[in-house]
Amino acid sequence: MSAQSDALTTVPRSPERAGFWRTVGAYVALTKPRVMELLLVVTVPAMILAEQGFPNLWLVLATLLGGAMSAGSAGAFNCYLDRDMDRRMQRTKGRPLVTGEISDRNALIFSWVLGLLSVIWLWATTNWLAAVLGAAAIFFYVVVYTMLLKRHSEQNIIWGGIAGCFPVLIGWAAVTGSLDWPAWVFFLIIFLWTPAHYWPLSMKYRDDYAAAGVPMLGVVRGRTTVGLQIILYTWATVASSLLLVPIAQMGWVYTVTALVVGAAFIVEAHRLYGSAIRGREGRPMRVFHGSISYLSVLSIAIAIDPLLPF
């Protein structure tokens, strides 16, 4: 290798440039991108179902951007308000406000600016109803869940989880300017899915939540009780998914998919409960990750079914 190529490969990255991208990454982390991705997964299927075909591409992109900003604002507010708890939990010790990469003041300003921009953007590019729903989603996650329920009630994730259902309504409203029964059924599916999705995580990180003083069900109740609740909500989720068949006139692709992935979800929930009644920890994260796969595949089926010619 020539001396010139050696020199090119050893040129260090500018400290200023590295610092800039590190800061950008910290602000992105503040928005909880993994949660945001999961929320946006359901937005496009809701829009396709509302349109009974693929909507205008610009409208889809505008809605996704507005929804991402709304979810990101809620996530950033949550990180700001929960920064004291995050410092006591192993699972959250790498968050930017814990590491000091972002100051508390800058995080709060960022949360407000991103939230206001999301509402303005949705109003300007979609319609007033989608914008109001975006604002309501932020309010529900920040005030109802984070400030009122999370530290004080074992039911926190049930009612706080409503915030995660709003992307469906935002997507539907962006297309139709209204909210119809299929949108509310999709909302119900995610509402019932959320506890079945999140409670296995609370079982896995029970000590973390206990150290932070968060009364998640996995902390205040035994494994058997939590496992039974997961089963009940899993069955309710699958049952509600089948309501879309008559109400939204879904075809065989969605129907078969809902039955197959629903059965797999139920089996995993029962396995976790079976371990609990035998005094074993089981594999709660298998249920947690399986629930993500369930919602993702179901959402894909919702998106594909209206596009088929039969």
Alpha-carbon gap, residue 169 to 186, rounded angstroms: 9
* pLDDT, position 16: 63
pLDDT tier at 1, thresholds 50, 70, 90: very low
Instruction: State yes or no: pLDDT of 4 exceeds 60.
Output: no
pLDDT value of residue 138:
95
Query: Residue 70 pLDDT more than 50?
Result: yes
Asked if residue 264 lies in contact with residue 290, where contact means CB atoms within 8 angstroms, the answer is: yes
Question: 12: which 2 tokens?
Answer: 């260090």
The residue type of 201 is L
Confidence of residue 40 (pLDDT cuts 50, 70, 90): confident
The one-letter amino acid at 175: V
* Within this chain, domains 25-179 and 185-310 share the same CATH topology: no
> For the residues 22-40, what does the mean pLDDT come to?
84
* Token couple for 67: 């929804």
Measured between alpha carbons, how far is 117 from 135 in angstroms, rounded to an integer? 10
State the DSSP H helix or E strand holding residue 5, giving kind and residue range, or none if neither.
helix 3-9
For residues 238 and 265, the answer to whether their CB atoms sit within 8 Å is yes
The per-residue pLDDT for range 288-299, each reduced to its tens digit, is: 999 999 999 999
Provide CB contacts within 8 A for 44, sequence distance 6+: 60, 64, 171, 303
pLDDT digits (tens, 9 = 90+) for 79-103: 999 999 888 888 888 889 999 999 9
What fold is seen in the domain 25-179?
A: Tetracycline Repressor; domain 2 (1.10.357)
CATH code for the structural domain at 185-310: 1.20.120
What is the model's pLDDT at position 7?
Answer: 40
Separation CA 174–CA 152 (nearest Å):
35
**With 70 as the cut, is the pLDDT of residue 14 above it?**
no
Distance from C-alpha of 59 to C-alpha of 264, rounded to nearest angstrom: 34
Categorize the per-residue pLDDT at 5 as very low, low, confident or very high, splitting at 50, 70 and 90. Answer: very low
CA-CA distance, 119 to 241, in Å (whole number)? 30
- CA distances to 24, 213, 283 from 210, rounded to whole Å, are 32, 5, 20
3-state secondary structure 111-144: HHHHHHHHHHHHHHHCCHHHHHHHHHHHHHHHHH
- For the whole model, what pTM was predicted? 0.89
More confident residue, 276 or 171: 171
Distance of CA 56 to the CA centre of its chain: 25
Domain positions in the chain: 25-179, 185-310
